[in-house]
Amino acid sequence: MAISMAIVTIVLSLGSWSPPPPPPLSNPPPLHPTGRRSSLASWEAFVRRAYDRIYRPFRSRCHADAPALECLEAMYAATEEADAPWWLRTMLRDARHAHAAILHGAWHSLASRRPTGSAVCTIEKVGTTNFRRFMALLQADGARGARGCSARPFASIHSVLAPEEGVAYTGRRRGHDEMIGALHGREGWSTFVFLREPLERFASGFEDKCRRNPAERHCSPLEIFGNGSRSRALRSHTSLRGQLAAYADTFPLSWNLHFFPQALFCDDLGRNLHRYSFVGRMNETFLQQMRHVAAHIDHCASSQAGASDAAMRAYRCVFPVKQDGHATHAKRHVSRMISAFSARRLLEIFSIDYVELELPLPSFLEELPF
Ligand SMILES: *[C@@H]1O[C@H](CO)[C@@H](O)[C@H](O)[C@H]1NC(C)=O
Ligand SMILES: *[C@@H]1O[C@H](CO)[C@@H](O)[C@H](O)[C@H]1NC(C)=O
């Protein structure tokens, strides 16, 4: 009797059983040991530890005034004996390698003597096209060559500076970084550079080079990602987050200049940033900062040779409409592309930017379980 009752109970309860709903995918439970969401402070500690563990021992191999390439060589040699992540060795291999002189390529260092001496170092994915136009317009305007807003697209530093001005141009492709280095603090010249939040820059590079424009052949290594998001390695992932994570774990197999840390560009920014007259950031106030640079150039020119509004006119050509929404949009977008796992990998790699260039971490990291 008791047994048949039990069977009836089991059958009845089975009949009413239904599987529990799956946990929501968009909002994973936090992994933080306290059960709370992570604070930005724990991510900051992670980045600092990563830098101290991965980069600091190798950076200490460079003399304070060693030229950029000498420092890269010293760091690369050290990775042979010391314990370093594999991607640091490939990064330094490609940053110092002659074929990757792309990192030190002429197009990064732009200058104009008109209306007064100014030089900018540009970094891929940090408004390079705008700076190229701005500097070309400055130079053309002084020569009365600019018609309206059009100008030669490129004012390279060695086409602008005469050798007798005392800036050594070695003639090697790698010499341009050193030329901008020689202009810091020089009478009548100002130097400027703009930086971008590293995770945002990486996500923007991935979107541009791997998803939208793989035919440009910058989604490296090409053997794996040559077809962009149609490559087998990326097709396996249906979400953008998954694709970016797969790329974040493998892109250092061969480094492309759109993805090198910003600290290695421009005469070794990580060690020389403080020498620039103006350091801007490509964030919500980018346009105001750029306006400030233009006003500064005109101000210097006016005090030397009478009133000038050439830089402000060039500014209005390059930035004709308000683009303030752009930065905010990019920020929202990147937070949808990066997972806690890819954030860890990327923050390790770009810890050199956050620490040496003193960049704050993006606030969306607070939304990710640490
Ligand atoms: C890219 O696509 C072409 C044509 O479909 C194919 O032959 C090639 O193997 C693919 N390469 C990669 C790296 O996926
Ligand atoms: C944007 O960058 C400027 C210049 O570095 C900085 O002063 C400002 O605080 C930044 N704004 C935000 C919202 O991060």
Which tokens hold the place of 241? 């987050």
Q: 175-179, 195-199, 305-309: which range is least confident on average? A: 175-179
Is 70 exceeded by the pLDDT of residue 2? Answer: no
Distance of CA 81 to the CA centre of its chain: 29
Ligand 1 pocket, residues with Cβ under 6 angstroms:
223, 226-227, 231-232
* Ligand 1 atom nearest to CA at 224: 13
Minimal-distance CA residue to ligand 2 atom 2 = 281
Q: Which ligand is nearest to the CA of 236?
A: 1
CB 146 within 8 A of CB 115: no
Distance CA 56, CA 50 (A): 9
* List of residues 6+ apart from 20 with CB closer than 8 A: none
> What does the pLDDT read at residue 31?
46
CB 369 within 8 A of CB 340: yes
Give the alpha-carbon dihedral of 87, 88, 89, 95, to 10 degrees. Answer: 110
Which residue of 227, 232, 235, 250 sits with most ligand 1 atoms within 8 Å of its CB, as the best mutation to test the pocket? 227
Distance 227 CA to ligand 2 centre (A): 37
Distance 231 CA to ligand 1 centre (A): 7
Ligand 2 pocket, residues with Cβ under 6 angstroms:
280-281, 283-285, 289
Interval 251-286: pLDDT, tens: 999 999 999 999 999 989 999 999 999 999 999 999
**Residue 230: φ, ψ to 5°:** -95, 0
Distance 269 CA to ligand 2 centre (A): 19
CB 275 within 8 A of CB 181: yes
Which residue of 273, 281, 358 sits with most ligand 2 atoms within 8 Å of its CB, as the best mutation to test the pocket? 281
Distance CA 269, CA 258 (A): 16
Distance CA 286, CA 327 (A): 8
* Ligand 2 atom nearest to CA at 283: 1
> What does the pLDDT read at residue 30?
47
Q: Which ligand is nearest to the CA of 229?
A: 1
CB 258 within 8 A of CB 252: no
* List of residues 6+ apart from 271 with CB closer than 8 A: 59, 62, 64, 71, 356
**Residue 83: φ, ψ to 5°:** -80, 115
* Ligand 1 atom nearest to CA at 226: 13
Q: Which ligand is nearest to the CA of 288?
A: 2
The model carries a pTM of 0.86
> What does the pLDDT read at residue 16?
60
Which residue of 192, 283, 288, 331 sits with most ligand 2 atoms within 8 Å of its CB, as the best mutation to test the pocket? 283
Distance CA 318, CA 313 (A): 9
Interval 55-75: pLDDT, tens: 999 999 998 888 888 899 999
Minimal-distance CA residue to ligand 2 atom 9 = 285
Going by pLDDT thresholds of 50, 70 and 90, the confidence category of residue 306 is confident
CB 352 within 8 A of CB 55: yes
Of the chain, the percentage scoring pLDDT greater than 70 comes to: 81
Q: Long-range contact list for 345-350, CB < 8 A, 24+ apart?
A: 345/245, 345/248, 345/249, 346/198, 346/199, 346/202, 346/248, 347/43, 347/46, 347/47, 347/50, 347/199, 348/50, 348/54, 348/85, 349/87, 349/91, 349/252, 349/261, 350/198, 350/199, 350/202, 350/261
Instruction: Point out which residues pair with 189 in neighbouring strands.
Output: 117
Distance CA 117, CA 111 (A): 7
